[in-house]
Every structure is written in structure tokens, then in C-alpha cells.
Amino acid sequence: MATLNQLQKTLHITYSVVPIVAGIDKFTNLLTNWSNYLGSNMKSVLPMEPMAFMKVVGIIEIVAGLLVILKPVFGAYLVMVWLIAIALVLIVGGNYFDVAVRDLVMAVGAYTFAQLTIITRKTL
């Protein structure tokens, strides 16, 4: 059976690596064409081209992943809020509801990681 420490470490790795990889991919589009996730209503209000915007998003995601590594509780809450914001943008855009649900589930996981980190610190 896994210990709280092992579970916390697994989530620590996950919530560090996934935002960094997703952020880097905003520059390469190897996993997907990220600008497709912006609804036409979003694209029309952006102050820049969609790909430039997605690169800004990529930088934010990389920083969020690094913050999870360096400041796990703060980083986890930041990732949680970021994932909720992404889900809301997708819902308002009227597309990718499946991805919005996935991001909300991942936000719950980020919250769980933050709480496990707090608990494991108290037990050490």
C-alpha cells in the first residue's frame, strides 16, 4: 500500500512535469495546434495573434510547473486556479467540453496535492 509521502511525491512530479511539457508544447505544437482551443469569440478580443497569445500561455505554464517544484503548495494552488480558468474559457467558447471537464478534474487533483503536501509536512 502506498504511503501518504509516496502519493504526495507522485502528484508532485505530475503537477510539475505536465504544466512544463504543455508550456513547451505551446512553442512546438507537437501535441496539438493550441490556438484551435481558442474560440472565435476569444480570438476576436485578443490584443495579439492567437499563436503569440499561446506562447504567453506557454510561458505561464512553464513558470507554474517550476513553482510547483520550488514552492509545492503555492504552485499547486496556482495550477489549480489556472486549470479552472482554462476550463471556463473552453466552456464560454462553447467547444471542447470534454477538455474542460478534464481540466476541472485535474484542478481537483492539484488541490489534493496541495493538501497532501501540507499533511505530509506536519507528519515529518
The domain limits of the chain are 4-123
pLDDT tens, position by position, 56-85: 999 999 999 999 999 999 999 999 999 999
So what's the pLDDT on residue 46?
A: 86
So what's the pLDDT on residue 85?
A: 93
So what's the pLDDT on residue 124?
A: 60
Q: How many CB atoms lie within 10 A of CB 110?
A: 26
The mean of the pLDDT values for the chain is 92
pLDDT tens, position by position, 28-45: 999 988 888 777 777 788
Sequence-distant (6+) residues with CB within 8 A of 59 are 23
pTM of structure: 0.89
